Amino acid sequence: MPPLTPAQKEVAMKLRIPEEQYARSALAGQRTTEKLLKKAEWFAKVFERVIRDKGSAATIERVTLDTFDGYFNIKLHDRDFPLRVDETLVNDLLERG
């Protein structure tokens, strides 16, 4: 495990959590963040391929994942409103390859 920063050590102490446990939690959070980022990047590539295959000239400006609501929000350059896709659908696509 990577060592804690002084700020992280201070938080662990304030929360009365052993440093090793805090470090494990921080590492797990970092890995989860990386996994969610990769999923969002993968989905953006797939979605862009789909809109191109449909003959659209639209391009993706931004894809974000709202983990609380469970939706991907997609902002296209030529649209004033975002599109929303249920995260469950993206997970199903990932599982199917």
**Total tally of structural domains belonging to the chain:** 1
Residue 44: other Cβ atoms inside 10 A: 16
Q: Is residue 26 part of a domain?
A: yes
Q: Is 2 exposed, middle or buried (0-12, 13-18, 19+ CB in 10 A)?
A: exposed
Residue 72: other Cβ atoms inside 10 A: 22
The domain in which residue 25 lies consists of: 6-96
Contacts 24+ apart (CB under 8 A), 74-81: 74/44, 74/47, 76/51
- Return the amino acid letter for 60: I
* Per-position pLDDT tens, the chain of length 97: 889 999 999 999 999 999 999 999 999 999 999 999 999 999 999 999 999 999 988 889 999 999 999 999 999 987 777 899 999 999 999 899 7
Q: Is residue 1 part of a domain?
A: no
Q: Is residue 52 part of a domain?
A: yes
